[in-house]
Amino acid sequence: MPVFYGEIIESPMLLGTSLYPSPAIMAEAVRASACDIVTVSLRRESGSARAGQDFWGFIRDLGVRVLPNTAGCHSVREAVTTAKMAREVFGTPWIKLEVINDAETLAPDVFGLVEAARILSGEGFQVFPYCTEDLGVAERLVEAGCEVLMPWGAPIGSARGLNNVYGLRSLRAHFPDIPLVVDAGLGVPSHAAAAMELGYDAVLLNTAVAKAGDPVAMARAFAQAAEAGRLAFTAGAMEPRDMAAPSTPVLGKAFLE
């Protein structure tokens, strides 16, 4: 089970709360996923006008831990300001840190991300950075105070799965003691299973569940896939081979002349 900043997490799945057909369906999907953590984006105007507080209250009633998100922020200043408002609204030092570089791919601005992570860590935040699988960036995020890393599988909402399996595997090997969460790009449950089979601690997704024909059933499917992947990793999967290996022993086989 992953441990995020000293908190033991039972479920290997984190779920986003946007894009659902209704709040009621979102709540059912969260329950079906059996997740411990949901992510919630915070609009900047919420800090002063308290807009959307009914929704925040609705989320808290689900009985899961809230991970506020700086989604939509394109600069260090935006991200830091949004994080501070999120801490005020939700009363948590946790923050999923996004600093977006490109509007088309929603790729992280890794330079701004490291800077914002350093600022927020210095102010007592426990930062969950949405990053790439680049080892150099990951090292700088850890140096900046991040105790969890959240590399993307593919661009947000793309449903492309794990675009760089080699990079994700290398990141896992390089940081054996850092909790790692594949965040973004997962489209089907098998993507979640594949991430967990690499040894990742959890997966975070939103669009694949919220935009499914049946979000509740899809949430359940992802939860089961993530759990299956975790069990497969801990069980110790066999290594792939180039040649066939018989599963039936030849001892006792009849030989005809």
96 domain residue, yes or no: yes
Q: Give residue for tokens 């990141």.
A: 171
- CB-based contacts of 174, cutoff 8 Å, min separation 6: 135, 138
**For position 204, which CATH number holds?**
3.20.20.70
96 classed as catalytic:
yes
249 domain residue, yes or no: no
CA gap 107, 194 in Å, rounded: 22
pLDDT band at 250 (very low <50, low <70, confident <90, very high): low
Total of domains in the chain: 1
- Indicate the annotated binding residues: 157, 184-185, 206-207
- Of the given ranges (54-68, 106-120, 122-136, 141-155), which has the lowest mean pLDDT? 54-68
179 domain residue, yes or no: yes
pLDDT per residue over 175-203, tens digit each? 999 999 999 999 999 999 999 999 999 99
Helix residue ranges per DSSP H, the chain: 23-33, 46-49, 53-60, 76-90, 110-122, 135-143, 165-174, 189-197, 207-210, 215-235
Domain extent, residue 227, equals 3-235
245 domain residue, yes or no: no
Question: Does the pLDDT at position 49 exceed 60?
Answer: no
246 domain residue, yes or no: no
42 domain residue, yes or no: yes
- Indicate the annotated binding residues for 1-deoxy-D-xylulose 5-phosphate: 157, 184-185, 206-207
Average pLDDT over residues 129-149: 97
Helical pair 110-122 and 76-90, crossing angle rounded to 10 deg: 40
pLDDT band at 47 (very low <50, low <70, confident <90, very high): very low
Average pLDDT over residues 80-88: 93
Q: Among the options 84, 96, 211, 253, which is catalytic?
A: 96
